[in-house]
C-alpha cells in the first residue's frame, strides 16, 4: 500500500525566499494494489505536485509518503523506481527529441538490466509491448515525431512494465491525446489493475476519473476537499466545490440549461 | 533532423563563404610554416622591400620576412583563439550546466562567481599579472583570455539548461535511475549542441579580437609572433609614416577576415539550426 | 447568409511537398449561427480557422473561395485582408493570456488598435461590454499583468468583438481552461451572439461535449475534409458518418464506468496528408468500408441541413 500522510509542500518564492506559497496542504490518502485512485483538481490545485512528490522528483516540506509501511526516504532511489513509476502528460515532451523513442527502454536496461543478454532483453521488450498492444515493428527504431501521441504514451507504459512496478503515477496521460485513441489508453490503464498494479490517476477531467477509478480524491487549492469511493463522490458529493465542478462539466447528451 | 540541418547547411551561402575563408586561412597557418625554413624573426635580407617574388609580402625596417611572420602569426592567432575560446567554453559549460540543472544554493554561488568575473576589470588585472610574470607565452595569453571570457557563455547556457530541466524527458531519465552528470551530458547537452557550437564560435572570434588588442597595447606574447604583434611593431616603428603598407595591411586584414568570417559563418549556422530564420 | 465557403483548399508547404491540410471544404454559415468545428488534431479545423483570417507563411491558398457578406475575401493576400480583419472577421486566439502587449495599459492598447483601423472609440459601449463580462471599468487603466488569466481571457473577448464583426473565430480558446472557467467563457460567447455583437461564429474545438453546449450546427472534419455537418443535436444523437458515430461512442461521460460499460476507441491513425491516396480518407479505419470507398465520397445532403460525406450514409 502506498500511503500519503500529512504531505505538505511549501514553496519559497520571491527574493531570498521571503514569501511562501503552499502548493499542497496536509494531503493524506492511500492507494492499494490493484486499484485506481483518481486525483481530480483544476490547474493550480496541486495535483501534479502530489504526483511529483510520490515520484520523488520533489521532496515534501513535511509529512511522509510510505510504501507498505516503510518511509520512502529510507529506500534507495533505484530500488524505489523499480517499484514506482510515472507517465506524464505531454507525450512529445517525455521523449528527448534528438534520440529515437525506444531509447527509454535502453535507459532502463543500462541501469537495471546490465547483465541481461540481448535475446532475453528483446523478449522482455516484446512482452511489454504486447501488454500495451503495440507491435514492435511499428514503434521500435523510430523517432518520437514519427509516432502518434497514443503510441508514445503506450510506449511509456511499456517502459514502466519492464520493471517490477507496483504503483504507477499517471499524470494527465491522456489529456493531450485525440478522443478516438485516448479511451484505449485509458482502458489499458484499467487493465493493469488486473496485474495487481495500483494507479494514481491524476486528471482534471471528471468523466475520465469517474470512468476508471475505484476511489476519488478531489483537490482544491492544495487541500483535499472530498475523498471516498468514486460512486459516492460523484453521486452524493458533499463539498460545495465538488458540486460546482460536477455542474460545470459539459455533458454530451445534456445541455447546461436543461440540467439547471 | 541531422539530414535536414545538412540540407540547409550546404545551401547556406553565408555559412559556405564564412567557413571557406576560415578554412583557407587555417590551412595557411597550419601548413604554411612547414614551407618556411627560417624562424620568422630572423633577419633575412634587404630592409623595407616591397612585396615581390622573393619576399611575397616584402620585408620590414629590420629586414625580416613579413610573409614568414604572417604565416606564423596566423598560426599563433588561431591557436590563441581556439585555446582561449575552448577554455572559456569549457568553464562556461561546466558552470552553466551545473547552475542551471542543480539550482538552489549551487546556482546562487555559481551565479555570484559569474557576476564577479563579469565585472572584473580585465585590463587592470592583466597589467598587474604582467608585472609579476616576465616572459609571456601565447599559451598564457590564451589561458588568461579563457579565464575571463566565460561568464556570458555560462549565463546563457544556464538559462537554456534551466528551461530544458523542466521538460518531462529529464524527469523520465531521473525515474530511470540515471544520475545528474549523465542527465546533463546525455539528455540536456545534445539538445543544445547547435547552441553550444555557436557559443564556441563566438568565443573563438572574441578571443582572437581580445588577443590582438592585448598584443597591440604591448601585452602580447614575448616568445612568439602573432598578427596582433605584427600590427604593434608596425605601429611602433612608424610603418604608416614610412609608407610600408605591406607591414600592417596583411595582419590587419587577416584579423578582420578571420573574425568577420567567423561571425558570418555563425549567422549562417544560426539560420541552419533555427527553422524560424530559414528563408524558404 | 453571412459566410459562404466554397471548395476551399489550403496546403502547407514543406520540404517533402505540400500537405493537403484543407482539401475542398464547402459550407454556408447563416446569420446568427454558431458553427462548432470539431475534429482531431490534423483534421484541418485550425487550418480552416486560420484561412478565414490570416494564412501564415507556410500556408498557401490553392483553390476555392470565401464570401463574407457578399464580398469575396482576398484570403491569399495578407495586405488586402487587413481592412477586413477585426472589423469584419475577428479572432480570439488560443493563448489570449499572452495576446496583449505587456508594456501598454489596456485602455491605450484598445485605443491604438482602433486607430489603426480608423475607428473611433465609443467609451460608453466599451464600458457596457466590460459590465457584461463582469470586468470593472478600471481594468482599462491597468497593465495586462495585473489581470488574472480569466480576466485577460474576457478582456480579449471584449476587444475582438468591439467592432461588431460579422464573423468571429474562436480557436481552441477553452482547451487550456478549467471546467468552471470553460463554462463561463462559453456562456459569454453565446451572450455576444444573442446581443448581436457578432453576427455569426465558428467555434473550433476538439471537445464535442463542449461544442454541443454552444453550437447550433456541428461540423466534423477528418483528414482535411468535411465528414459530417448537421444540427448539433443530430450530430450528438443520430450521426450518420461512421467516423462521427465511433467518435461519439468513444467519449466517456460522468456516470459511465469502466466496469459497467467498456468504451472503445477507433483503431489506427489518420492518413498522412502528404500526397494522400484518392478515396475516402477514413476507409482504413472504417468498419463499413467497401470497394466504392476507393472513390472520393462527395458531401451529400441526406436530410435538411444534414450533410454527410460517406457512400454508406447517402
pLDDT digits over C48-101, tens only?
999 999 888 889 999 999 999 999 999 988 899 988 998 899 999 877 777 888
Q: How confident is the model at residue B135 (pLDDT cuts 50, 70, 90)?
A: low
CA–CA dist A91, C63 (Å, integer): 35
Q: Which residue has 511499428 as its cell numbers?
A: A138
Q: What is the pLDDT of residue B272?
A: 80
Distance from C224 to chain A by nearest Cα, in Å?
16
- CB contacts, 8 Å: B7 with chain C: 15
Put simply, the answer to whether C13 touches B4 (Cβ < 8 Å) is: no
Domain boundaries, chain B: 13-31+62-277
Determine which of A142, A250, A259, A260 to mutate to test the interface with C (most C C-beta atoms within 10 Å).
A250
Least CB–CB distance from C247: residue in A43, A179, A230: A179
For residue B69 the three cell numbers come to 611572420
Dihedral-angle region of residue C122 (phi above 0 means left; psi in -120 to 50 means alpha; beta otherwise): beta
Q: How many residues belong to chain B?
A: 280
Lowest mean pLDDT among A5-19, A39-53, B37-51, B105-119: B37-51
CA-to-CA separations, C51 to C29, C36, C56, in angstroms, rounded? 15, 16, 9
SS3 for chain B is: CHHHHHHHHCCCHHHHHHHHHHHHHHHHHHHHHHHCCCCCCCECCCCCCCCCCCCCCCECCCCEEHHHHHHHHHHHHHHHHHHHHHHHHHHHHHHHHHHHHHCHHHHHHHHHHHHHHHHCCHHHHHHHHHHHCCCCCHHHHHHHHHHHHCHHHHHHHHHHHHHHHCCHHHHHHHHCCCCHHHHHHHHHHHHHHHHHHHHHHHHHHHHHHHHHHHHHCCCCCCCCCCHHHHHHHHHHCCHHHHCCHHHHHHHHHHHHHHHHHHHHHHHHHHHHHCHHHCCC
pLDDT tens, residue by residue, B60-96: 777 788 888 888 888 888 899 999 999 999 999 999 9
Determine which of C11, C13, C14, C15 to mutate to test the interface with B (most B C-beta atoms within 10 Å).
C15
| Chain B neighbours, 3+ Cβ pairs < 8 A | A, C
pLDDT tens, residue by residue, A123-165: 999 999 998 989 999 899 988 888 888 899 999 999 999 998 9
DSSP A93: T
Q: Which CATH code fits B13-31+62-277? A: 1.10.3720.10
Least CB–CB distance from A88: residue in B1, B171, B190: B171
Determine which of C150, C179, C203 to mutate to test the interface with A (most A C-beta atoms within 10 Å).
C179
For residue A16, pLDDT beyond 70: no
CA–CA dist B260, B20 (Å, integer): 12
For residue B10, pLDDT beyond 90: no
- For the CA atoms of C150, C152, C155, C157, the dihedral, rounded to the nearest 10 degrees, stands at -70
DSSP H or E run through A62:
strand A62-67
- CB contacts, 8 Å: B280 with chain C: 13, 57-58
Determine which of A96, A113, A146, A176 to mutate to test the interface with B (most B C-beta atoms within 10 Å).
A96
| Closest alpha carbon within chain A to B178 | A111
| Closest alpha carbon within chain A to B190 | A98
CA-to-CA separations, B78 to A188, B222, B234, B251, in angstroms, rounded? 60, 17, 21, 13
Instruction: Give a yes or no: residue A99 inside a domain.
Output: yes
3-state SS, residue A78: helix
pLDDT tens, residue by residue, C156-168: 999 999 999 999 9
B18, B261 in Cβ contact below 8 A? yes
Number of domains in chain A: 1
For residue A148 the three cell numbers come to 502518434
Give the pairing type, strands C200-205 and C167-171.
parallel
DSSP H or E run through A162:
helix A149-162
Q: What is the pLDDT of residue A47?
A: 94
Stronger pLDDT, C68 or B242, i.e. the higher one: C68
Q: How far is CA B99 from the centre of its chain?
A: 24
Contacts from A118-127 at CB under 8 Å and sequence distance 24+? A124/A162, A125/A158, A125/A162
- CB contacts, 8 Å: A252 with chain C: 208-209, 212, 236, 248, 251, 253
For residue B126, pLDDT beyond 70: yes
Put simply, the answer to whether C178 touches A42 (Cβ < 8 Å) is: yes
Q: What is the mean pLDDT of residues A107-119?
A: 93
Q: Edge-to-edge, what's the strand order for the sheet holding C71-72?
A: C17-29, C3-14, C59-68, C71-72
Q: How confident is the model at residue B277 (pLDDT cuts 50, 70, 90)?
A: low
Q: What is the pLDDT of residue C292?
A: 93
Per DSSP, which regions of chain C are E strands?
3-14, 17-29, 34-38, 59-68, 71-72, 89-92, 167-171, 200-205, 217-222, 225-231, 300-303, 306-308
For residue B129, pLDDT beyond 80: no
Q: Which of A207, A250, A205 is nearest to C183 (CA)?
A: A250
Q: Which of C263, C229, C259, C237 is nearest to C249 (CA)?
A: C263
Classify domain C3-88+165-264 at the CATH topology level: Rossmann fold (3.40.50)
Q: Edge-to-edge, what's the strand order for the sheet holding C200-205?
A: C89-92, C167-171, C200-205, C34-38, C217-222, C225-231, C306-308, C300-303
Q: What angle do CA B34, B39, B41 make, to 5 degrees?
A: 140
Instruction: Give a yes or no: residue A247 inside a domain.
Output: no
- Domain range spanning residue A160? 2-239
Q: For the domain that residue A216 is a member of, what is the CATH number?
A: 3.40.50.300
In the A/B pair of chains, how many CB contacts fall below 8 A?
Answer: 51
CA–CA dist A51, A202 (Å, integer): 8
N- to C-terminal Cα separation, chain A: 41
C133, C201 in Cβ contact below 8 A? no
Q: How confident is the model at residue B280 (pLDDT cuts 50, 70, 90)?
A: very low
- CB contacts, 8 Å: A112 with chain B: 177
CA–CA dist B78, B25 (Å, integer): 9
DSSP H or E run through A142:
none
Put simply, the answer to whether C13 touches B7 (Cβ < 8 Å) is: no
A206, C179 in Cβ contact below 8 A? yes
| Chain A neighbours, 3+ Cβ pairs < 8 A | B, C
CA–CA dist A82, A107 (Å, integer): 13
Could you say which residues of chain C have pLDDT below 50? none
For residue B145, pLDDT beyond 70: yes
Q: How confident is the model at residue A64 (pLDDT cuts 50, 70, 90)?
A: very high
For residue C20, report the phi and psi dihedrals to the nearest 5 degrees: -85, 70
Put simply, the answer to whether C254 touches A256 (Cβ < 8 Å) is: no
Distance from B119 to chain A by nearest Cα, in Å?
22
pLDDT tens, residue by residue, A168-216: 999 999 888 888 888 989 999 988 888 899 999 999 989 999 999 999 9
Q: Does A230 touch chain B (CB under 8 A)?
A: no
Q: Does A174 touch chain C (CB under 8 A)?
A: no
Q: What is the mean pLDDT of chain B?
A: 85
Amino acid at each position: 500500500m502506498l500511503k500519503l500522510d500529512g504531505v505538505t509542500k511549501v514553496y519559497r518564492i520571491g527574493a531570498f525566499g521571503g514569501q511562501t506559497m503552499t502548493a499542497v496542504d496536509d494531503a493524506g490518502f492511500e492507494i492499494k494494489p490493484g486499484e485506481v485512485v483518481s486525483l481530480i483538481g483544476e490547474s493550480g490545485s496541486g495535483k501534479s505536485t502530489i504526483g511529483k512528490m510520490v515520484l520523488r522528483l520533489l521532496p515534501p516540506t513535511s509529512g511522509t509518503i510510505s510504501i507498505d509501511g516503510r518511509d520512502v526516504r529510507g529506500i534507495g532511489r533505484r530500488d524505489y523506481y523499480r517499484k514506482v513509476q510515472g507517465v506524464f502528460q505531454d507525450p512529445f515532451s517525455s521523449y528527448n527529441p534528438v534520440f529515437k523513442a525506444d531509447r527509454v527502454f535502453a535507459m532502463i536496461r543500462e541501469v537495471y538490466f546490465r547483465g541481461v543478454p540481448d535475446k532475453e532483453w528483446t523478449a522482455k521488450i516484446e512482452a511489454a509491448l504486447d501488454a500495451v498492444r503495440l507491435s514492435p515493428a511499428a514503434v521500435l527504431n523510430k523517432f518520437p515525431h514519427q509516432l502518434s501521441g497514443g503510441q508514445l504514451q503506450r510506449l511509456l507504459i511499456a517502459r514502466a512494465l519492464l520493471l517490477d512496478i507496483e504503483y504507477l503515477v499517471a499524470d494527465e496521460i491522456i489529456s493531450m491525446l485525440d478522443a478516438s485513441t485516448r479511451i484505449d489508453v485509458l482502458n489499458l490503464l484499467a487493465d493493469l489493475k488486473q496485474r495487481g498494479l495500483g494507479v494514481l490517476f491524476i486528471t482534471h477531467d471528471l468523466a475520465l476519473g469517474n470512468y476508471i477509478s475505484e476511489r476519488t480524491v478531489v483537490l482544491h487549492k492544495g487541500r483535499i476537499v472530498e475523498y471516498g469511493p468514486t460512486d459516492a463522490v460523484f453521486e452524493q458529493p458533499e463539498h460545495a466545490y465538488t458540486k460546482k465542478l460536477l455542474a460545470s462539466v459539459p455533458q454530451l447528451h445534456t445541455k447546461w440549461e436543461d440540467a439547471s | 533532423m541531422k539530414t535536414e540541418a545538412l540540407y540547409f547547411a550546404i545551401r547556406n551561402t553565408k555559412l559556405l563563404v564564412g567557413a571557406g575563408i576560415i578554412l583557407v586561412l587555417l590551412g595557411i597557418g597550419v601548413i604554411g610554416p612547414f614551407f618556411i625554413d627560417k624562424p620568422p624573426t630572423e633577419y633575412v635580407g634587404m630592409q623595407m622591400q616591397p612585396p615581390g617574388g622573393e619576399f611575397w609580402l616584402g620585408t620590414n625596417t629590420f629586414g625580416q620576412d613579413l610573409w614568414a611572420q604572417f604565416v606564423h602569426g596566423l598560426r599563433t592567432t588561431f591557436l590563441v583563439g581556439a585555446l582561449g575560446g575552448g577554455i572559456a567554453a569549457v568553464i562556461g559549460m561546466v558552470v552553466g550546466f551545473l547552475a542551471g540543472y542543480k539550482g538552489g544554493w549551487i546556482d546562487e554561488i555559481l551565479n555570484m562567481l559569474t557576476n564577479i568575473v563579469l565585472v572584473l576589470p580585465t585590463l587592470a588585472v592583466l597589467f598587474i599579472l604582467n608585472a609579476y610574470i616576465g616572459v609571456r607565452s601565447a599559451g598564457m595569453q590564451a589561458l588568461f583570455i579563457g579565464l575571463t571570457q566565460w561568464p556570458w557563455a555560462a549565463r546563457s547556457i544556464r538559462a537554456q539548461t534551466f528551461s530544458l530541466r523542466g521538460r518531462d524527458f529529464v524527469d523520465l531519465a531521473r525515474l530511470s535511475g540515471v544520475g545528474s552528470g549523465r542527465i546533463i551530458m546525455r539528455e540536456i547537452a545534445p539538445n543544445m549542441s547547435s547552441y553550444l557550437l555557436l557559443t564556441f564560435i563566438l568565443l573563438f572570434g572574441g578571443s582572437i579580437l581580445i588577443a590582438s588588442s592585448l598584443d597591440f597595447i604591448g601585452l602580447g606574447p614575448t616568445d612568439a609572433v602573432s598578427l596582433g604583434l605584427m600590427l604593434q611593431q608596425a605601429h611602433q616603428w612608424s610603418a604608416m609614416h614610412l609608407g610600408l603598407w605591406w607591414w600592417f595591411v596583411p595582419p590587419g586584414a587577416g584579423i578582420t577576415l578571420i573574425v568577420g568570417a567567423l561571425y558570418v559563418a555563425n549567422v549562417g549556422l544560426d539560420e541552419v539550426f533555427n527553422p524560424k530564420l530559414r528563408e524558404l | 447568409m453571412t459566410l459562404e465557403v466554397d471548395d476551399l483548399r489550403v496546403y502547407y508547404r514543406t520540404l517533402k511537398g505540400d500537405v493537403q491540410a484543407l482539401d475542398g471544404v464547402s459550407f454556408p454559415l447563416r446569420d446568427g449561427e454558431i458553427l462548432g468545428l470539431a475534429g482531431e488534431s490534423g483534421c484541418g479545423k485550425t487550418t480552416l480557422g486560420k484561412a478565414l483570417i490570416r494564412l501564415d507563411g507556410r500556408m498557401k491558398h490553392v483553390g476555392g473561395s470565401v464570401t463574407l457578406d457578399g464580398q469575396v475575401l482576398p484570403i491569399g493576400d495578407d495586405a488586402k485582408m487587413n481592412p477586413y480583419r477585426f472589423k469584419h472577421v475577428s479572432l480570439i486566439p488560443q493563448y489570449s493570456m499572452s495576446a496583449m502587449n505587456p508594456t501598454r495599459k489596456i485602455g491605450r492598447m484598445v485605443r491604438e488598435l482602433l486607430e489603426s483601423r480608423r475607428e473611433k472609440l465609443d467609451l460608453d459601449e466599451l464600458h457596457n461590454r466590460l459590465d457584461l463580462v463582469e470586468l470593472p471599468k478600471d481594468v482599462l487603466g491597468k497593465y495586462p499583468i495585473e489581470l488574472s488569466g480569466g480576466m485577460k481571457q474576457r478582456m480579449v473577448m471584449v476587444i475582438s468583438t468591439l467592432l461588431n464583426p460579422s464573423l468571429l473565430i474562436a480557436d481552441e480558446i477553452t482547451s487550456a481552461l478549467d471546467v468552471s472557467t470553460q463554462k463561463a467563457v462559453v456562456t459569454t460567447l453565446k451572450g455576444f451572439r444573442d446581443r448581436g455583437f457578432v453576427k455569426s461564429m465558428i467555434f473550433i474545438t476538439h471537445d464535442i461535449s463542449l461544442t454541443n453546449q454552444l453550437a447550433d450546427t456541428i461540423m466534423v472534419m477528418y483528414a482535411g475534409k468535411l465528414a459530417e455537418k448537421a444540427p448539433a443535436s443530430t450530430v450528438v444523437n443520430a450521426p450518420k458518418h461512421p467516423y462521427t458515430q465511433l467518435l461519439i461512442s468513444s467519449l466517456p461521460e460522468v456516470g459511465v464506468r469502466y466496469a459497467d460499460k467498456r468504451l472503445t476507441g477507433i483503431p489506427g491513425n489518420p492518413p498522412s496528408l502528404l500526397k494522400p491516396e484518392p478515396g475516402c480518407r477514413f476507409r482504413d479505419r472504417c468498419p463499413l468500408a467497401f470497394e466504392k470507398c476507393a472513390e472520393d465520397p462527395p458531401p451529400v445532403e441526406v436530410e435538411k441541413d444534414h450533410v454527410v460525406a460517406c457512400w454508406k450514409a447517402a
